[in-house]
Structure 1
């Protein structure tokens, strides 16, 4: 079988001058520490969100607020809306530099949350902390520029799923911190984690020498960030404000108009903050859309898993395990472990199988896991099985995404193209939980005031929709985003000669 050059990530990774810091000698103690520190920063992105979600009841009680949802909304909005700007600045001024700036802003957010005397300061802390999401895509983009060529696929793959240090144990750790030291301890721990990892990154990981000689598109940055913020705000607040309210309609329509203006501008200037002409290349678009769906389906699937696991069976009638929040970690822990192991598998196999095949496998597992849970969710073993299938699908999909983007994007636009994945994930992730609740709410019942129990049919229909989204993405990718035979490598002019295989 002829292997397409997009699948051989190593063959599309030119060795820039900055890679001399590691050379091509293979694994060294310094390189191992570099990989671990970047993986741990990826873990911190998930830890921050899970920690705030778990701490919400305590935060509500402490500040006597009904607006706690803004903590999650602010974090997600900033993470998605700032992605193109961080990506572009990384191409202009250096990926490690922008990673460290993002970490610094997130650390400032942790400090605010840890000492906040008022709720609005907690929200401001989350606004700053949302910048840590930049580590997701800048991490593997930095690896691409500085790591030995044959190690790039492995490093990029595991950088998206983490090492499991926090993702598997996070529910248990967060529970211990909150129960014994209060909700502020979550942010103190996160602050310490970020500082330690930032120091290790500075000590072990060189800055990329690649720079894009261009001016920052200020107008485009404002338009893109503003339009995305308005759209995401309207989607996030639809249930609370009402979908027909002036606030939601104004945000959605206003955001779409602003984004339309950005599209017109981006197609007319030479150096837009997010180059749409490069983004629509098939390999990049495939990775961005499929990876975004994988990210975006996670909130929906995890919401449904929580309902299946934590609803008492006497209330759910035909479903419900009655788990506590702590016991629920017996499902989320193995699910996260499955994702981590799948990411490792992709890193080890991608040079042989190709990233595209791994993405197909991930999407198929999303379909299989959701369909399994539709009919098999009345025991712990069944729910756990479905959760692990979804976790492995997540690992395959997310680990394949950076390899596809690395293969398709020009070297000097790796940062901005990588940020497109975060942008896609933010948009899809904001929509999918709303879709689930829109499906479930009409058939829900309220046995006592303040308690809403969703029907089995509502949950199973939502799982079917989740499966259909993954399946539709897979079909669309196969039919419309396969590489053209006449252009086997979309960034071919940037590819060096492939490395010679070492004789067995």
Structure 2
């Protein structure tokens, strides 16, 4: 029988008092956002470089650069989040930062594509910072600040969303894609030092041992499913192994007194419905991070609408990345306000609608003018910003403080697994429909049909996410900043 989870101290003993200086709260949010910003940076800087990476390493599947990061993030986040709940959130936040720096160095000097993928995997460990930061915010701030602060963490300081695409475009066109990784290394070193100096550790703990069996079964299950997406020749056996391992994981978690993921928490409607929505949104996020750079940077094909814009990296940043960043930054705060004043479910519904609209327009071949690319980018950014804040607030409202990190990691794992599977799947779709390879730039050109099919899959996933959000019976009241520790 699963025993009630223990916590050494209540969040109320850690949180600032209601009359604590608002300035202090703002400083903490900004400093924590600095280090979580890196997750935005590692996509806004690196995604535009996919065609350049493909040419440099002579690969037709540059999407694996995104897939690998998502896969490692999905597998490691629950384990690291559990360790954060056991040993301290700040400690694990900084451990993730250290792994990211090693990975960035490996990517910057990678002589081969496999070495680059290893580096990207080490970077993926840093996603624990996003998971843990929400718990830190909940522990350190008064409840009334939490919903909006979570929205602020989602959009970070704005540099990753707004300046990231511009910096990445300039780096890629003028210094080469490796400059992006050197920048990521330097940024994380500075951010980690600031967090280590300013952010206090929270004494909120859960008295558990790490469930190693659960971690192994989850990792094997998720990894096998990703292999099934990437390797058509191993699709059936890998899929079977993945399903068997995940079923075994669920059974093992039900029988242990100290599970990696509490099945009791997963059974709560507020949690499992949010995770289902996260799966569908994860498909869109993972797939589009591969699709948009390759579509918009591909040369236009005569007689085919929506076949590409031929953007260089800076143009991709200006017309797609920048509108996406600005809209995402603004809507993260808006969604936090909506969650506090109305309901986090409302933010989730709006997010799913915006994302579905963006990918549907692209699937219809309408992202073929500068104006339409700006519109699609803004819709994507607004949707992601609204989603992050709304879904995080839904989890905060559903679980006690002493399981906050691992509970947020459940959502992150759902997103990462779906995203890595989707990015690998659409990468395989494109690789199976190579039109030609530009003899001058060595850039792979894909036909419109491949992009059309891939974006239709994203559109279907968006509709399913929207239906789940509308059907949710929870999250319909204003967010309060979280339930008390130990609440069942």
TM-score by length of 1: 0.83
Q: Which runs of 5+ in 2 are unaligned?
A: 1-9
User: Is 2:352–2:466's contact at 8 Å kept on the other side of the alignment?
Assistant: yes
Deviations 1:150-198 (A, max 9, x none): 1111111221232321222222212333444444432222122112211
Distance 1:177 1:27, change over 3 A: farther
Matched, 1:430 2:416: no
Matched, 1:168 2:162: yes
1:317 aligns to what? 304
The answer on whether the counterparts of 1:77 and 1:229 sit within 8 Å (CA) in structure 2 is: yes
Could you tell me whether the CA contact under 8 Å between 1:343 and 1:396 is conserved in 2? Answer: yes
Which residue of structure 1 lines up, in the alignment, with residue 7 of structure 2?
Answer: none
Cα distance in 2 for partners of 1:341, 1:402 equals 17
* Residue 502 (structure 1) aligns with: none
- Relative to the length of structure 2, the TM-score reads 0.85
8 Å contact 1:291–1:398 — kept in the other structure? no
1:303 shift after superposition: 4.5
Q: What's the secondary structure of 2:374's corresponding residue? A: helix
Change (3 A) 1:80 1:484: closer
| CA–CA distance in structure 1, aligned partners of residues 204 and 421 of structure 2 | 36
Return the offset for 1:431.
3.0
Deviation (angstroms), 1:23: 2.9
2:464 pairs with 465, 469, 472, which one?
Answer: 472
2:91 and 2:185 mapped to 1: Cα distance? 19
1:342 deviation in Å? 0.5
How far 1:293 sits from its partner (Å)? Answer: 2.8
CA RMSD between the two structures: 3.2
Q: Could you say if the C-alpha distance between residues 316 and 107 of structure 1 is closer, same or farther in structure 2, counting changes exceeding 3 Å?
A: farther
Q: How far apart, CA to CA, are the structure 2 residues paired with 1:59 and 1:444?
A: 16
What CA distance in whole angstroms lies between the structure 1 residues aligned with 2:456 and 2:66?
26
- Alignment of 1:215 with 2:209, yes or no, is yes
How far apart are the structure 1 equivalents of 2:467 and 2:426?
Answer: 22
Matches within 5 A, 1:18-33: 18-19=14-15, 22-33=16-27
Distance 1:324 1:493 in 2: 51
The alignment covers a number of residue pairs equal to 469
Alignment of structure 1 residues 22-421 onto 2, 5 Å: 22-55=16-49, 71-116=65-110, 121-235=115-229, 237-238=230-231, 243=232, 245=233, 247-306=234-293, 309-315=296-302, 317-319=304-306, 320-329=308-317, 330-373=319-362, 374=364, 376-421=366-411
How much does 1:126 deviate?
A: 2.5
Contact map agreement 1:91 1:211 (CA 8 A) in 2:
yes
Equivalent-residue separation in structure 1 for 2:74 and 2:213 (angstroms)? 18
443-452 or 349-358, larger mean C-alpha shift: 443-452
CA deviation after TM superposition for structure 1 residue 207, in Å:
1.4
Q: CA deviation at 1:420?
A: 0.9
Instruction: Quote the Cα distance in structure 2 between the aligned partners of 1:484 and 1:299.
Output: 26
For the Cα contact (< 8 Å) 1:34–1:201, is it kept in 2? no
CA-CA distance at 1:351 after TM superposition:
1.1
Q: 1:474 to 1:39 in 2, by over 3 A?
A: same
Pair 65,463 (structure 1): closer, same or farther in 2 beyond 3 Å: closer
**How many Å separate the matches in 1 of 2:288 and 2:191?**
30
Deviation of 1:200 (Å): 1.9
Judge conservation of contact 1:266–1:272 (CA < 8 Å) in 2.
yes
1:313, 1:120 → 2: CA distance?
Answer: 31
Q: Separation in 2 of the partners of 1:175 and 1:377? A: 20
Displacement of 1:383: 2.8
SS at match of 2:283: helix
Deviation at 1:353, TM superposition (A): 0.9
- Relative to structure 1, the CA distance from residue 318 to residue 183 in structure 2 (aligned partners, 3 Å threshold; closer, same or farther) is closer
**Which range is displaced more, 55-64 or 394-403?**
55-64
Q: Is the 8 A contact 1:18 1:207 kept in 2?
A: no
In the alignment, the residues of structure 1 paired with residue 156 and residue 388 of structure 2 have an alpha-carbon distance, to the nearest angstrom, of: 10
CA contact (8 A) 1:146 1:207 kept: no
Partner secondary structure for residue 161 of structure 2: coil
By how many angstroms is 1:477 displaced? 3.8
Q: Distance in 1 between matches of 2:303 and 2:296?
A: 10
The Cα of 1:421 is off from its aligned counterpart by 1.4
Higher mean C-alpha deviation, range 467-476 or range 333-342: 467-476
**Displacement, 1:66?**
7.8
d(CA) in 2 for partners of 1:47 and 1:493?
34
In the superposition, relative to structure 1, how do residues 15 and 216 fare at CA in structure 2: closer, same or farther (>3 Å)?
Answer: closer
